[in-house]
Chains A and B, each alone.
Chain A
Amino acid sequence: MERDVLHRLLSDMLLSRAFEERAAEEYGKGNIVGFLHLYPGEEAVGAGVLNAAAPSDYVVSGYREHAHALMRGTPAREVMAELFGRADGVSGGMGGSMHIFDAERRFMGGYAIVGESYPIAIGIAYAIAMRRLPEAVICFFGDGAVNQGTFHESLNMAALWRLPVLFVCENNHYAIGTEIHRHSAVTEVYKRAAAYNIPAEKVDGMDVSRVYDATRRALDLIRRGGGPQFIECETYRFRGHSMADPGSYRPVAEVKAQMARDPITTAIGEAAIRLPTQAELAEAGADTIARLTARMVEAGHLAEVEMEGLRKAADAVVEDAVQFALHSAEPTMAAAWAHMTCNRRDEVLI
Chain B
Amino acid sequence: MSEETLYWQALNKAMDTELEADESVFTLGEDVGLVGGSYRATQGLMAKYGEWRVRDTPISEGSFTGLGVGAALVGMRPVVEIMTVNFMLLALDSIINAAAKIPFMSGGQFRMPLVIRVPGGIAKQLGAQHSQRLEHTIMNVPGLRIAVPSTPQDAYWQLRQAIASDEPIILLEHELLYFSKGPLDILAEAPPMHRAANRRPGRDVTIISYSRHALLSAAAAEELAKDGIEAEVIDLRSLKPIDWDTCAASVEKTHHLLIVEEDCRFAGAGAEIAATLGERCFGALDAPATRLAGLDMSTPFNGTLEAASIPQVADIVAAARKLCRPAKTPVAAAAE
A148 CB, min distance to chain B CBs, angstroms: 6
Check if B60 is an interface residue, CB within 8 A of chain A: yes
- Chain B 105-123: CB-based contact to A (< 8 A → 1; otherwise 0): 0000000000000000000
A94 touches B300 (CB 8 A): yes
Q: Which stretch (A173-181, A212-220, A228-236) binds chain B?
A: A173-181
CA–CA, A177 to B86, complex, Å? 19
Which interface residue of B86, B298, B305 has the most chain A CB atoms within 10 A?
B305
**B17-25, B125-133, B252-260 - the one binding chain A:** B125-133
Does any Cβ of A come within 8 Å of B141's Cβ? no
Report the bound CA distance from A85 to B62 in whole Å: 32
Q: Does A134 contact B (CB under 8 A)?
A: no
**How many residue-residue contacts, CB under 8 A, span A and B?**
111
Q: Is the CB of A111 closer than 8 A to any CB of chain B?
A: yes
Partner pick for B125 among A33, A86, A112, A249, CB 8 A cutoff? A33
**Chain B: how many interface residues by the 8 Å CB criterion?**
34
| Beta-carbon contact of A331 and B305 below 8 Å | yes
B127 A112 Cβ-Cβ under 8 A: yes
Chain A residues in 8 Å Cβ range of B127: 34-35, 95-99, 112
Q: How far is the CA of A332 from the CA of B129 in the complex (A)?
A: 20
Partner of A34, one of B30, B57, B124: B124
A residues in contact with B90, CB < 8 Å:
113, 115, 148
- Evaluate contact between A99 and B128: CB separation under 8 angstroms: yes
Residue of A nearest to B131 (CB): A34
Q: Are B130 and A35 in contact (CB under 8 A)?
A: yes
- Of the stretches A6-14, A273-281, A303-311, A333-341, the one at the interface is A333-341
User: When the two chains form their complex, are residues B58 and A340 in contact, meaning their CB atoms are under 8 A apart?
Assistant: no
Report whether A94 and B128 are in contact in the complex, using a CB–CB cutoff of 8 Å. yes
Tell me if B30 and A178 are in contact (CB < 8 A): yes
Q: Which residues of B contact A112 (CB under 8 A)?
A: 86, 127, 129-130
Contact with B along A153-181 (1 / 0, CB 8 A): 00000000000000000000001111000
Given contacts A112-B127, A333-B308, contact A93 B59 (CB under 8 A): no
CB distance from B330 to the nearest CB of A (A): 27
Task: Flag whether A114 is at the interface (Cβ < 8 A).
Answer: yes
> Which residues of chain B are near A336, meaning CB under 8 Å?
297, 300, 305, 309
The complex places the Cα of A111 from the Cα of B129 at a distance, in Å, of 8
Q: Are A93 and B301 in contact (CB under 8 A)?
A: yes
Structural contact, A113 and B86, CB atoms closer than 8 A: yes
Residue of B nearest to A87 (CB): B302
- Pick from B38, B56, B125, B304: contact of A96, CB under 8 Å: B125
Q: Which of B55-81 contact A (CB under 8 A)?
A: 56-63
Q: Does the CB pair B301–A183 fall under 8 Å?
A: no
User: Does A323 interact with chain B (Cβ within 8 Å)?
Assistant: no
| Bound Cα distance A133, B308 (Å) | 45
Query: Chain A contacts of B242 at CB under 8 A?
Result: none
> Is B130 in contact with A333, judged by CB distance below 8 angstroms?
no
- What are the residues of chain A within 8 A of B130 when measuring CB–CB? 35, 98, 112
21 pairs of residues in contact across A and B, judged by CB atoms under 8 Å: A33-B303, A34-B126, A82-B301, A85-B303, A86-B302, A93-B300, A94-B128, A95-B301, A96-B125, A97-B127, A99-B301, A113-B87, A114-B87, A148-B61, A149-B60, A149-B62, A178-B34, A178-B58, A183-B56, A331-B300, A332-B305
Interface residues of A (CB under 8 A from B): 33-35, 82, 85-86, 91, 93-99, 111-115, 144-145, 147-149, 175-178, 182-184, 249, 330-333, 336-337, 340
B-to-A contact residues, CB < 8 Å = 30-31, 34-35, 38, 56-63, 86-87, 89-90, 124-130, 297-298, 300-305, 308-309
Given contacts A112-B129, A249-B35, A331-B302, 10 further A-B contacts (CB under 8 A): A34-B124, A34-B301, A93-B300, A93-B305, A95-B128, A175-B30, A182-B34, A183-B56, A336-B309, A340-B298
* 7 closest residue pairs by CB, A with B: A96-B301, A34-B125, A147-B58, A177-B35, A85-B302, A33-B125, A96-B127
